[in-house]
Amino acid sequence: MRVILIATLSAAAVVVAGCSTTPEDQSAAAVEDRSKPGAGKPGADAKSVDRPKIAAVDVTQGRKDAASALKDPSSILSKRSIYYDLDQFEIKDEYRGLIEGHAKYLRENPGARMLIQGNTDERGSREYNVSLGQRRSDGVKRMLVLLGARDDQIESVSLGEEKPQADGQGETAFSKNRRSDILYGGEY
Amino acid sequence: MRFLLAVIFFLLAAPAGAQLSIEITGAGAQRTPIAIVPFANEASAGTSLTAIVRADLERSGLFRGLEVPPLSPAPNENSPMNYGEWRSRLADAVVVGSVGMAADGRYEVRFRVYDVVKQAPLGAIAYLFTKDNARAAAHRIADFVYEKITGEKGVFSTQIAYVVRRGTTYELQIADADGERAQYLLRSNEPIISPVWSPDGRRIAYVSFESKKPIVYVHSLSENKRQVVASFKGSNSAPAWSPDGKTIAVVLSVEGGSQIYLINADGSGPRRRISNSQSIDTEPRYSSDGKSLYFTSDRGGSPQIYRMSATGGEAQRVTFRGSYNVTPRPSPDGRVLAYVTRESGKFQVALMDLANQQVQVITDSDRDESPSFAPNGRMILLATVIGGRGVLSAVSADGRIKQRLPYAGGDVREPSWGPFTE
C-alpha cells in the first residue's frame, strides 16, 4: 500500500515537474496527502508544506518530576476535561479543584506549556461554534492565569464542533461534546 | 487559452474516487422545451457532447430536453432551419452542430442556437478542445445556450469545492458544477472547514486543524503549494476574500475572544484589527462592491447578522427576527443576503431582500448550513443532513428548483461555489 502510495506521489511529482516547463502548467492542481504515513513520519507527509508554528514547547523542566503525575489516574492532573451546560461558558464549581491543580502545576513548572481546546456540540454554524469553543477555552485560561499560571504558558484554541467526544444526536452525546480539553506540551 | 489550461489542470488532478451526482427534486414553474440535436460526427470525440449539454440544461430546472428521433440527413450548423417542423415537435429552441478536426489535431465543435417561437437565430460559436476536455467543452456549449435563451450567464463551466469526511479522513475536493471530475486538494486526518474560492478562481482559502488548532491556509490551484496566511496564537478561522483578491478577512483570537482582522492574501504584512467588541464577531463576508462586511455577532445577546464598513467602525444590525441568524452570504448582485436561521430548533436557509428587509425561508430540512451562491446568483449550494449523513443540496433563489447531490463515499459538507473563470 505504501509502495503504491509513494509511487503515485512520485508519479504526480514527475508530472508536475515535467509540466512546469510550459506555461500551460500554471493550472496544475496542487495535490497533497497528509493522512498517510508518506515518508514514514506518522501524521505528516514529506511534502514541503509550511508547517505552522505553534507556541514553543519546552517540557524538559516540567516532565522530570511530573510527567508521571500528569498521567497518574490518582492525580487531579490526569483529569483533563471540563464539561459545560448548554450555551454556557461558566466553569462549574465541580471543576474548581481540577483547575487549581493544573494552575499549581504550571506555577511549579515554569517550563511547562499547555494547550486548551474548547469544543461545542454539533448544532449550528461551524464557524460560530469555533468562536463559542474559543470562549470556553479562554475562560479556562483566564482562571488558570488568575490562579498564578503565566499567560505565555497557555494557548487557548477552539476545535468548534469538529472533534466530538461522543457521536450521535441527543443531549447525552451533546453534553460530552461541550467541553474544554487540557493538553500539555508533548501531548499535541 | 484558458480552455487549454483547464485541460491540463484536470490531467494533473488526483481523482477523488466516488463523486457527487445530482438529482432534481423540484423544477421551475415553466421549463423551456429545447431540442438538442445530436451533433453530426460527435461520436468521434468519444463523448456525447449533446447528452452532457442536455443534462446541464435540465439540471438548471429551466429547460426540458426533447427526445430527438434520428434525422436523415443529420442536420448540422449549416443546414437550413425548418422552424415549422420544430414547432410541430413542440420545441421552443433548437441546437444543431457538428464536430470536426482542427488543423492542430484538436476537435472543433461548431453549433447554432435557434429560437423557434420567434423564428430567429440566437447565435453560433465554435470551440476547440482535446479529447480529455470534452466534458469542459460540453459545459461551455451549455453556458452559451443558456445565456442566449435566458439572457443570464450559465454556471455549467464553474467548479465547486467541498469537504468529504470518511471516518477520520477529511478531503478538500473540487469538482465541476455537475459533480463530475472530482479531485482532492488536501487530505488530512484532522478536520477542514470553511473553504472559499478567491475571486479569480485560482486559489482556495480554508481552515485546517492538522496542527491541533485552526489555522488559515491559501492553496494555489496553479502551483503545487499552499501557504499559511493566519497562524497566530489561539484560533485562526473564517476566511473571506475581498473582491479584488488582495485581502482576506479572518477571525482571530490572538487578542482574546473572536474578532475580525484583515490580512494580505499573500500572508505578508501585519494584521489589521477591524472589529472591536467584547462579544463574538465572526463569519465575515464582503459585499460584492467590497465596501462592506457582513458578519455574525452576539453583541446583542444572541447571534445576529451585522454590517460594517470594510475598514471597520460602527456596525448596523441586519437581522432581527428570531434568536439565531448566522452565516451571512451576500448575493453576487448585492441585492439579497442568504443566511442560516434557526426556528423551532430547525436550521434553514433564509433570503433577505436587502432593499425592503423581506425574509423568505427557502429550504425545508432542519440542519441546513453553509449556503453558497452560484456566481450568477440563481442557485444556492448548501450542506444538509439526510438520513444521518451529510449531503449537499442546491436550491434556486426563488425556492422552486431543488437538487440533491448524493455522494457514495462519505459525509459531504462545507460547499463553496467557485467564480466565473474567463
Instruction: From residue B161, give the alpha-carbon distance in Å to each of B32, B170, B411.
Output: 30, 13, 14
Domains of chain A, by residue range, sit at 1-50, 60-184
DSSP-based three-state secondary structure for A90: coil
The percentage of chain A sitting over the pLDDT mark of 70, rounded to a whole number, equals 64
Q: B162: which 3 cell numbers?
A: 467541498
CB contact under 8 A, A35 and B303: no
In this complex, which of B194, B228, B303 lies closest to A52 when CB atoms are compared? B228
Q: Which of residues 73-92 of A touch B (CB under 8 A)?
A: none
pLDDT at A22 over 80: no
CA gap B191, B362 in Å, rounded: 29
Q: Residue B369's closest CA among A120, A126, A86?
A: A126
CB contact under 8 A, A28 and B238: no
Instruction: Give the confidence band of B21 by pLDDT, cuts at 50, 70, 90.
Output: confident
The percentage of chain B sitting over the pLDDT mark of 70, rounded to a whole number, equals 95
Q: Do the domains spanning B31-150 and B159-417 agree at the CATH topology level?
A: no
CB contact under 8 A, A134 and B347: no
Element (H, E) at B55: helix B49-59
In this complex, which of B5, B186, B280 lies closest to A32 when CB atoms are compared? B186
CA gap B157, B148 in Å, rounded: 15
Candidate CATH numbers 1.10.10.10, 2.120.10.30, 2.60.40.790, 3.40.50.150; the one for domain B159-417: 2.120.10.30
In this complex, which of A12, A138, A158 lies closest to B14 when CB atoms are compared? A12
| B164 touches B174 (CB < 8 A) | no
Chains A, B: CB contacts within 8 A come to: 183
Inform me whether the C-beta atom of residue A173 falls under 8 Å from chain B C-beta atoms.
Answer: no
B228 contact residues in A (CB cutoff 8 A): 50, 52
Q: Which residue has the higher pLDDT, A20 or B384?
A: B384
pLDDT at A102 over 70: yes
Q: What is the pLDDT of residue A27?
A: 41
Cα distance from N-terminal residue to C-terminal residue, chain A: 27
Across B11-92, the runs of DSSP E, i.e. the strands, are 23-26, 32-36, 63-65
Q: What is the pLDDT of residue B314?
A: 96
The percentage of chain B sitting over the pLDDT mark of 90, rounded to a whole number, equals 84
Domains of chain B, by residue range, sit at 31-150, 159-417
pLDDT at A4 over 90: no
Go through chain A and tell me how many residues it has.
188
Q: What is the pLDDT of residues A109-146, one digit of tens each?
A: 999 999 999 999 999 999 999 999 999 999 999 999 99
Query: Rounded to a whole number, what is the distance in Å from the CA of A9 to chain B's nearest CA?
Result: 10
Under 8 Å CB-to-CB from A72, ≥6 apart: which residues? A78
Instruction: Give the confidence band of A33 by pLDDT, cuts at 50, 70, 90.
Output: low
Q: What is the ipTM of this complex?
A: 0.92
| B355 touches B394 (CB < 8 A) | no
Mean predicted confidence (pLDDT) in B120-125: 96
Instruction: Kindly report each contact of residues B175-178 with a partner whose C-beta sits within 8 Å and lies 24 or more positions away, as own/partner.
Output: B175/B16, B175/B19, B175/B20, B176/B135, B176/B136, B176/B139, B177/B139, B177/B374, B177/B417, B178/B22, B178/B52, B178/B55, B178/B56, B178/B59, B178/B139
CA gap B358, B371 in Å, rounded: 18
Q: What is the pLDDT of residue A66?
A: 52
CB contact under 8 A, A131 and B6: no
Q: Which of A10, A121, A128, A150 to mutate to test the interface with B (most CBs of B within 10 A)?
A: A128
Under 8 Å CB-to-CB from A20, ≥6 apart: which residues? A28
Alpha helices in chain A (DSSP H): 2-19, 60-71, 96-108, 126-146, 171-177
Query: Rounded to a whole number, what is the distance in Å from the CA of A29 to chain B's nearest CA?
Result: 5
Architecture of domain A60-184: 2-Layer Sandwich (3.30)
Q: What is the pLDDT of residues B82-102, one digit of tens each?
A: 999 999 999 999 999 999 999
Q: Residue B196's closest CA among B214, B177, B218?
A: B218
Q: Which of residues 38-57 of A touch B (CB under 8 A)?
A: 43, 48-55
Mean predicted confidence (pLDDT) in B64-70: 90
A134 contact residues in B (CB cutoff 8 A): 234-235, 253, 257-258
Task: Give me the CATH code for the B31-150 domain, please.
Answer: 3.40.50.10070
Instruction: Give the confidence band of A37 by pLDDT, cuts at 50, 70, 90.
Output: very low
B266 contact residues in A (CB cutoff 8 A): none
Q: What is the pLDDT of residues B147-185, one digit of tens each?
A: 999 999 999 999 999 999 999 999 999 999 999 999 999
Number of helices followed by number of strands (H, E) in chain A: 5, 5
CB contact under 8 A, A157 and B235: yes
Query: Rounded to a whole number, what is the distance in Å from the CA of B210 to chain A's nearest CA?
Result: 9
CA gap B67, B20 in Å, rounded: 26
| A101 touches A148 (CB < 8 A) | no
In this complex, which of B213, B258, B370 lies closest to A131 when CB atoms are compared? B258
pLDDT at A47 over 60: no
